Amino acid sequence: MRYPERHVHFDFFEGRRDEARNHCGHLPDEGERALWHALMALGWGTAAEADHALEDLVARAGPRDPSSVADAYAWRGDADRAFAWLERDHEQRVGLSDVKADPLLRKIRGDPRHTALLKKMNLPVD
């Protein structure tokens, strides 16, 4: 399997649960696996599964990839935690290059903090 990260992404957004889970298991990076596992638990699991998956994501990816944690909290609809992790990512200058286009952040785009973050990053807000 050459590009499991592309497959899990497409399968997830198309609602193909079994395929997404299968591709997730083949992701080479444990932080990326933790992110997609959390997203699937948030979308298709119980609240307890989602909470556990988020804790795992924070432990595995949080220190080196705060934007992944922000993605998961944004997908959950927890804007406060999402923006806290986005701010941490901005401070560490790790991975905010796609903050405008990231589909996982769509639930928080209308929040004034999103516009403020774009301005802080010197990105256009339109």
Rounded CA separation 40/94 (Å)? 24
Q: Give the dihedral sign, CA 76/80/84/87.
A: positive
Query: What DSSP character marks residue 48?
Result: H
For the chain, percent of residues with pLDDT exceeding 70: 92
pLDDT of residue 96: 61
Give the model's confidence band at 122: pLDDT under 50 very low, under 70 low, under 90 confident, else very high: confident
**Nearest 5°: phi and psi at 22?**
-60, -50
Query: Does residue 118 share a domain with residue 67?
Result: yes
Query: What DSSP character marks residue 29?
Result: -
Query: Does residue 68 share a domain with residue 42?
Result: no
**Number of domains forming the structure of the chain:** 2
Query: Does residue 75 share a domain with residue 33?
Result: no
Given a cut of 50, whether residue 67 has pLDDT beyond it is yes
Query: Does residue 66 share a domain with residue 118?
Result: yes
Q: Which domain holds residue 88?
A: 62-126
Please state the separation of Cα 73 from the chain's center in Å. Answer: 7
| HSE-CB of 94 using CA atoms within 13 angstroms | 17
Query: Does residue 73 share a domain with residue 27?
Result: no
Query: Does residue 39 share a domain with residue 72?
Result: no
